[in-house]
Structure 1
Amino acid sequence: MSRRHPARTATRTRKRGRSNDLAAVVHGTDGEFRVIDWGFPGAAAGWVDSAFLTIRLVAAGHSPRDAEAWAAARPGWPPDGRGDRGGTGEALTAFAAYVAGLWTYRAVTDGVDGPWVRAARDYAAWRTGVEIV
């Protein structure tokens, strides 16, 4: 892609654009992780991969608060935990709401459902302070 569309990939931060249980591999005791299976690479904020993994941690049984605390320790996570220039948390909340909406839509229309869909909704609900019934 970078050879065909250099302007689209001209960034130092590459993001996968999707989350797959088999795509994250932890190496060593340094806490670093390497991501494989770049099916949909693209440019994004430095916290996007950690935010996707936050949703996966919620799906694995962690609370949204604990999952986001894990993400806060990863490189690229915004120091204020908010992800936007104004420091209001809108970027992370918008991300959570968008992913929850997209995955819920796909679950309903395409039958692409799984525990990650509920986890995305739970994370978005926690970010917005709205309780899901």
Structure 2
Amino acid sequence: MIRYNLRCENDHHFDGWFRSSEGFDTLKKAGQVTCTQCGSVSVEKALMAPGVATSEAKRDLHTPRNPQEKALEDLRRQVEENSDYVGMSFAAEARAMHDGSAPTRAIHGEAKLEDARKLLEDGIPVAPLPFRSRQRAN
């Protein structure tokens, strides 16, 4: 995962987490990168220093150290507690619920970029989460 310092056209500064540089570019082109304060889709990477892991950071990787990390951890906890993890079946499950062939419920999981794009093109509302699921199987 890559963390970028971002800035919108209204000079709001915020962080964003992406799987890769290409992932950021793809999501930005699709209008999926928006300002956390005003919702603007005119977002650019801001100048940032590289992060270097210290022994303290290595010791406690899951403890948030700033308000943004705490907010992300709180969001993760809320998503995991209030939705079903469906793994790589996410696109199929979302489509089945949209079509009415499966009961509607909150879900989260994994999807290939092209599958997520098809869902959006078909009017099925989905959004990327700014973190990976802990339930992800490798």
Q: TM-score, normalised by structure 1?
A: 0.30
Larger strand fraction of residues: 2
Larger helix fraction of residues: 1
Q: TM-score, normalised by structure 2?
A: 0.29
